[in-house]
Amino acid sequence: MKNNVEIEESWKEALSAEFDKPYFLKLVEFVKAEKKQQVIYPPGPRIFSAFAHTPLLKVKVVILGQDPYHGEGQAHGLCFSVPDGIPFPPSLNNIFKELKDDLGIDKPRSGNLEGWADQGVLLLNTTLTVCQAAPASHAGKGWETFTDEVIRIISLRKEGVVFILWGNHAKKKQALINTSKHVVLSAAHPSPLSAYAGFFGCKHFSKTNEILKRIGLEPINW
């Protein structure tokens, strides 16, 4: 089973024990069965894209999302990100609006956040697959157990990581983080339903870079 999981080597080593646990084997069978009946996002090779772009040793920042996008062509394995040429979903639009207000960076032409991921920003959804047009359809099937372990491993093995928690779902994950050696920034979710309740004005992009510079790391080129 371990060798069948397409995941970057440093993560594969760190997470190898998870791949043979009953919950993960059950999760794999569930996803396989779902694929036979309906369209699943993201495409199989991209389920673990966040890990491919941001190896464990390079993690400096973690942004936690909840569910992959469930519209055609949107999800590609990085939370909040969409591939080149795909219109910006509302939450991503608001992320770019806050980035402009915070650091004066104009909205990019593409919503593809691979550039952030390649600099050490782990863009992690807590659930890594979803059915087309059915948000949260794969919640509670085992992915959360897996991604909770990812957060624990980062907390245990790394120091000085900035965890960015937007919305109540992400904020619940703070219990997995050792806040004596890491920094947690939390705010409302960037969704249009909540962005005006504390996401706008959070200045998490500039705050993250200030923290990274303070501990001698390269800031993120957002």
Using an 8 Å Cβ cutoff, are 217 and 195 in contact? no
Tell the residue number behind the tokens 């390269």, with chain if given: 218
As a whole number of angstroms, the longest Cα–Cα distance in the chain is 51
Please state, in angstroms and rounded to a whole number, the distance separating the CA atoms of residues 113 and 79. 9
Please state, in angstroms and rounded to a whole number, the distance separating the CA atoms of residues 164 and 205. 9
Residues known to be catalytic? 67
Please state, in angstroms and rounded to a whole number, the distance separating the CA atoms of residues 152 and 157. 9
Using an 8 Å Cβ cutoff, are 211 and 204 in contact? no
Question: Residue 42: is the preceding peptide bond cis (ω within 30°)?
Answer: yes
Who's near 74: CB < 8 A, 6+ residues apart? 41, 68, 82, 83, 86, 89
Report how many helices (DSSP H) and strands (DSSP E) the chain contains, helices first.
8, 6
Select from 86, 81, 18 the least CA-distant residue to 50.
81
**Strands ordered across the beta sheet of 183-187:** 121-125, 61-65, 162-166, 183-187
